[in-house]
Homo-oligomer: A and B are copies of this chain.
C-alpha cells in the first residue's frame, strides 16, 4: 500500500510559512522563508514536501499547465484542454462563455485578459489505465 507520511519539523514549518502568506511563492521563495527558522533545510526537502502537501490537498500547486511550453499554429484565441497525465493539449471549440472584463478590478493588478482552461484525460491515457 501507499507509505504513510510523517509530520516532520520541516514539513510542519513549510506548511506554516505557506499558510502565512498570500504571495503564491515559488519553491525557492519558500526555501528563503523556511530557512529563517530552519537554517539547515535543503532545497530538495522543500521540493519534496511541497509535492507531498499538494498531493494531500493541504496546499495548492498552481499552473496545472505542464513544464514544457506548447505552440499553436492557429493564433485565433480559443480554449484549450490539457491532459493531466501526459500534458497533451487539445482545442476546445464553441465554449459558450465570455468572461466580462469591463470594470473588473483585482487588488494589486490591472486585468488585461481572461481565459478558460480545461483539464482532462486524453483518450490515449484513458486506455493506458
Contacts and interface: CB of A to CB of B under 8 A. Distances in A.
Interface of A: 15, 18-28, 30, 50, 54, 57-63, 65-66, 68-75, 80-81, 83-84, 88-92, 97, 99, 104, 106-123, 126
Contacts of A27: 68-69, 71
Copies per assembly? 2
* Residue from A20, A27, A111, A120 whose CB has the most chain B CB atoms within 10 Å: A120
Q: For chain A, what secondary structure do more than half of its interface residues adopt (helix, strand, loop), or is it mixed? A: mixed
A20 to B, nearest CB: 7
Given A116-B99, A119-B114, A121-B110, A71 B60 contact: yes
A75 B60 contact: yes
20 contacts: A20-B73, A24-B71, A24-B89, A30-B71, A54-B71, A59-B72, A59-B75, A62-B72, A63-B69, A81-B106, A81-B111, A99-B116, A108-B122, A108-B123, A110-B123, A111-B118, A112-B119, A113-B119, A114-B117, A115-B117
Contacts of A54: 71
A122 B107 CA distance: 9
B63 A84 contact: no
